[in-house]
Amino acid sequence: MAEFKELPADAPAGAKVLNWFENRFPTAFDAYRVHMSEYYAPKNFNFWYFFGSLAMLVLVIQIVTGIFLVMHYKPDAALAFGSVEYIMRDVPWGWLVRYMHSTGASAFFVVVYLHMFRGLIYGSYRKPRELVWVFGCAIFLVLMAEAFMGYLLPWGQMSYWGAQVIVNLFSAIPFIGPDLALLIRGDYVVGDATLNRFFSFHVIAVPLVLLGLIVAHLLALHDVGSNNPDGVEIKKGPKGNRWSKDAPADGIPFHPYYTVHDIMGVSVFLMVFSAIVFFAPEFGGYFLEYNNFIPADPLKTPAHIAPVWYFTPFYSMLRAITTEMMYALVLIVALAAVLAIVKGNLGTKGKGAVAVGALVGIALMLGIDAKFWGVVVMGGAVIILFFLPWLDNSPVKSIRYRPSWHKYLYGLFVIVFLILGYLGVQPPSPIGERVSQVGTLFYFGFFLLMPWWSRLGEPKPVPSRVTFEAH
Going by the annotation, the residues of the binding site are 101, 115, 202, 217, 222
Q: What is the CA radius of gyration of the chain?
A: 26
Cα separation, 428 vs 339, whole angstroms: 35
> Which run of H or of E encompasses 406?
helix 404-425
End-to-end CA distance of the chain: give it in Å, rounded.
46
Distance of CA 77 to the CA centre of its chain: 30
Give the number of other Cβ atoms within 10 Å of residue 425's Cβ: 17
Q: Which of 336, 325, 377, 376 is nearest to 358 (CA)?
A: 336
Is the separation of the CB atoms in 43 and 251 below 8 Å? Answer: yes
Alpha helix positions (H), 368-403: 370-383, 388-391
Residues making up the binding site for a ubiquinone: 222
Cα separation, 76 vs 211, whole angstroms: 27
> Which run of H or of E encompasses 24?
helix 13-24
Grouping H, G, I as helix, E, B as strand and the rest as coil, residue 471 is: coil
| CA distances from residue 292 to 84, 184, 305, 424 in whole angstroms, order as listed | 11, 22, 11, 18
| CA distances from residue 271 to 102, 263, 274 in whole angstroms, order as listed | 17, 12, 5
Query: Which DSSP symbol is given to 369?
Result: -
Give the number of other Cβ atoms within 10 Å of residue 349's Cβ: 8
Give the number of other Cβ atoms within 10 Å of residue 83's Cβ: 19
